[in-house]
Structure 1
């Protein structure tokens, strides 16, 4: 834990939160700036800055907790879908630098859901660029 981390303060009980679930390695609580009704966060109790730094075991536990909670969101809140979102880095919209997954219920009823996409799914990209970037990444991972 770090003294300056908001989410570490929540885990320690020094910062109030609306807790919805907790186990030995994860903590889930309601987002205070929700994109939709029921929007919540799942975090590892152990501090890690972001996706690139989280321990694999912690990432696995957070993801499994998010899956369990997503199922509950769908059944209990009557959500029509759910997004899991992680933002890694300030330019990717990360504002609290403690790894977290957003569990965002999605609703056909837009009075319960204000999240909109920042891009247009279904719009194809340039095939040559996709192939070139894909080859570059595949080579780096080999």
Structure 2
């Protein structure tokens, strides 16, 4: 009898361990799957957040200055209110479809209202008038401006400037929309200079002495710094003679060494 009791006791404890192992395995698998799912959701959210035109530099069309006096938060509230309204309309149309089949006019009204609210939601980000121009005016559509592609990578795209200051004047741009340099992620910026270096060699500008042909690499940020297009771009401008290429003035002046020293300390503290 004691032998049977010992056997049953061992069997129960063994089953408990196996059940615990199975439970742990299932829990680990579920945790891994949930972690992968949340990572994908986070990546999708970040991509959508970066792609949304939340600033007046974020769209190709001209934005309405008065509309952009509204704060980013206010425009986002309008955006999500319109999106929520469109979801409600679409949801009601789907849920009440069996009933609305007998009243097709009401179904059409619900679906149309949802579609209008969805379109208007993006108008909240840019400004309603210019958003309509962006949608319907032909000159704003892709392909209107010619592009002579030179080199394309995962992170960048380069093409000839259609208003060159010298032969071989070209542009290198990141495949990430940002108005200024500090808006661009590091992995995109890390690709720019190696691509530019390849283009320098292709243009025959790989000179060996300072007295030979040269070139300038130019990148502007802000209207006061002569930026016209609100997407980060790098100019590669060959300089083969004094008349063509980049012509600039350089209003240099002697600096106060004490002021420079203090300013260097201030910047170093911010970089730490």
RMSD: 2.6
The alignment partner of 1:71 has SS state of helix
Match of 1:46 among 169, 176, 183: 176
Candidates 225, 239, 242, aligned match of 1:110:
242
Q: 1:27: Cα distance to partner?
A: 1.1
Equivalent residue for 2:227?
94
Structure 2 counterparts to residues 29-68 of structure 1, below 5 A: 29-68=159-198
Work out whether residues 238 and 245 of structure 2, in 8 Å CA contact, stay in contact via their aligned partners in 1.
no
1:28 CA drift (Å): 0.7
Relative contact order (alpha carbons < 8 A, sep ≥ 6): 1 or 2 greater?
1
Deviations along 1:83-123, one digit per CA (max 9) or x if unpaired, are 1111112222111111111111112x234x242222156x5
CA distance in 2, matches of 1:124, 1:73: 37
Q: Pick closer, same or farther for the CA change 1:34–1:86 going to 2, 3 Å.
A: same
Q: Distance in 1 between matches of 2:213 and 2:227?
A: 26
- Contact residue 37 and residue 105 of structure 1 kept, 8 A: yes
Distance 2:150 2:213 in 1: 20
2:215 alignment partner, one of 82, 91, 113: 82
TM-score, structure 1 as length reference: 0.76
Instruction: Give distance in 2, aligned partners of 1:139 and 1:120.
Output: 29
Equivalent residue pairs, number? 132
Structure 1 residue runs of 5 or longer lacking an equivalent are: 7-11
Contact 2:237 2:245 in 1 (8 A): no
Query: Structure 1 or 2: larger helix share?
Result: 2
Residue in 1 aligned with 2:250? Answer: 119
* Structure 2 stretches lacking a partner, 5+ long: 1-50, 62-141, 207-211
**Residue aligning to 2:48:** none
Distance of 2:162 and 2:255 partners within structure 1: 35
Which structure dedicates a bigger proportion of its chain to strand? Answer: 1
Which one has the largest radius of gyration?
2
